[in-house]
Chains A and B, each alone.
Chain A
Amino acid sequence: AQKVTQAQTEISVVEKEDVTLDCVYETRDTTYYLFWYKQPPSGELVFLIRRNSFDEQNEISGRYSWNFQKSTSSFNFTITASQVVDSAVYFCALLTLFGNEKLTFGTGTRLTIIP
């Protein structure tokens, strides 16, 4: 069975602070993919990143960075120098190679950036 846990239900930080969103996953498969999606107040789901289980290199994209650690089954997401436009619900998701391409989602973290 697959499971994704986002223990932080809501986080609020003041603009320009750094913030890390936690994601812990469970799967028995050795080949899998991890994703982060952003859901802004307008409601759509925006793809942010995809990482496969064989690539533990951390990734940085502008103010966003992701830390993938297989040893702790975590795929955490950090926003540096947060901005009001970062306010959204963020979902972590897991997809296994031999499943039905179903994304197993966490329950999401609502991030509020206070101006």
Chain B
Amino acid sequence: EAQVTQNPRYLITVTGKKLTVTCSQNMNHEYMSWYRQDPGLGLRQIYYSMNVEVTDKGDVPEGYKVSRKEKRNFPLILESPSPNQTSLYFCASSRDRGRGTDTQYFGPGTRLTVL
């Protein structure tokens, strides 16, 4: 089954404790991205990756890191989480823009609470 998976689905942590949210897709998609969803703000892009070893900042990258060492995986790293990073996080993937199909498919979401 074609899908984007995220782990963990729920996480409660404390300020300053490093954490990683994993994202994996099995569709051989080149493009992957992370978004955060906050009430009244919709979804905003954090980081994206056009392909392996190619990453770039989105609209709200502060406090986050990513890596893309393999095509299928795109982990989101919070080196020192703070309460303002409490949010619902989504990973998404899509085929390369040049292929003509740009629909982004989303993972199930990770609800993060930073105390």
Contact = CB atoms under 8 A, between A and B. Distances in A.
Contacts of A106: 42
A33 B42 contact: no
Given A97-B97, A101-B48, A101-B97, A47 B105 contact: yes
A100 B48 contact: yes
Contact of B42 (A44, A50, A95, A107): A107
A86 B44 CA distance: 24
Interface in B81-115: 88, 90, 92, 94, 97, 102-109, 111
Contacts of A107: 40-42
Contacts of A108: 42
Interface in B46-67: 48, 50, 56, 58-59
Given A33-B102, A43-B108, A105 B42 contact: yes
B43 interface: yes
Nearest to A102: B45
17 contacts: A35-B103, A44-B106, A44-B109, A45-B90, A45-B106, A45-B109, A50-B103, A91-B43, A95-B104, A101-B31, A101-B50, A101-B104, A102-B58, A105-B35, A105-B42, A105-B44, A107-B40
